Amino acid sequence: MSYQATTPRQHVVVLNSVRAAVDLLDKRGANYCDRPRFVLYEEMGWRKTLNFLQWGPEFRMHRRILQKSFSKTSVQIYHDLQEREAGILLGGIMKEPEAWETALRRFATAVVMKIGFGVSVETDGDPYIKIAEDASYALGHGGAPAGTLVDFFPFAKHLPNWLVRDRSLKFARDWRWAIRRLHDDPYAAAVTQKAPPYSLVKSLLDQRQEQRKYGASELLEEDIKGAAGAVFAAGQDMTWATLLVFVLCMVLHPEIQ
């Protein structure tokens, strides 16, 4: 059984059984799969990032990139990096126990930035930590994805600032610089400093070089930045929050340790 509804933006069909959902979205997913357009986050600067792409050729290309880089066998090359950063994390907590939350933030940022862009986060006060914090704040406070006023009425993105009354759109414009810094600064450093071979940026730059050699359609610079940005968006806050909750749970229930 299914239900239908009409909103100002689109026609909605609600599938009310597991069987119908599997039949349409799994078995025949190529015909029926779709994703909404995230207009607000496009305005914020997340144009070429898998998390905010609509279903289509670009989405499938970015999904292939990340699936290849984070398959069960591919992630093994990140083990040494994670162990090394875990050692630095523990050393930092032992040295300054009161700054344990900052140490967790540095660990999460260091792992994600190294895997995505190939850049190193050396200290708790590293500039990349500030870049990550600003981007995380922008990402977390922009509004519900695909659920803000500009998502329902995309023409509103063309309004000048003095006419904009929507808080989410104003916020997205005001914080666009943070998302651009996340994509541009570590990418520029990775290109200049020669990122390690296991980083996503380095592997995609090598892939683009091969495409040029054989005259194939090559990856755009914005695609490479966006793929690395997706690693950050998916992993940085989640890693930090998971570790934070783990520590708090251990303190609350010391008998489990």
Structure tokens at 146: 């695909």
Q: Is 166 helix (H, G, I), strand (E, B) or coil?
A: coil
Task: For the beta carbon of residue 228, count every other beta carbon within 10 angstroms.
Answer: 29
Provide the pLDDT for residue 24. Answer: 86
Rounded distance, CA 172 to CA 148, Å? 11
For residue range 99-126, what is the model confidence (pLDDT) as tens digits? 999 999 999 999 999 999 999 998 888 8
In this structure, is the dihedral angle defined by the CA atoms of residues 110, 61, 39 and 242, taken in order, positive or negative?
Answer: negative
- 62 falls in which pLDDT band (50, 70, 90)? very high
Q: Is 37 helix (H, G, I), strand (E, B) or coil?
A: coil
Structure tokens at 9: 């933006």
Residue-by-residue DSSP string for 85-148? HHHHHHHHHHH-GGGHHHHHHHHHHHHHHHHHT-----STT-HHHHHHHHHHHHHHHS-STT-S
- 5 phi, psi to nearest 5 deg: -150, 155
240 in Cβ contact with 104 (< 8 Å): yes
Does the domain at 37-256 match CATH 1.10.630.10? Answer given as: yes
Rounded distance, CA 85 to CA 92, Å? 10
Provide the pLDDT for residue 85. Answer: 94
Provide the pLDDT for residue 8. Answer: 66
- CA atoms within 13 Å, Cβ hemisphere of 227: 28
- 128 falls in which pLDDT band (50, 70, 90)? very high
- 228 falls in which pLDDT band (50, 70, 90)? very high
Q: Calculate the average pLDDT of the chain.
A: 88
189-196 contacts at long range (C-beta below 8 A, 24 or more positions apart): 189/117, 189/119, 190/117, 190/118, 190/119, 193/118, 193/119, 195/117, 195/118, 195/119, 196/114, 196/118
- CA atoms within 13 Å, Cβ hemisphere of 208: 14
Provide the pLDDT for residue 223. Answer: 92
Find where tokens 């078995």 sit: 27
Percent with pLDDT over 90 in the chain:
46
Rounded distance, CA 154 to CA 156, Å? 5
For residue range 11-34, what is the model confidence (pLDDT) as tens digits? 788 888 899 888 888 888 778 778
The boundaries of every CATH 1.10.630.10 domain in the chain are 37-256
pLDDT average, residue stretch 178-190:
93
- 180 falls in which pLDDT band (50, 70, 90)? very high
Identify which has the larger pLDDT, 5 or 199: 199
Provide the pLDDT for residue 43. Answer: 93
200 in Cβ contact with 209 (< 8 Å): no
Provide the pLDDT for residue 213. Answer: 78
pLDDT at 196 over 90: no
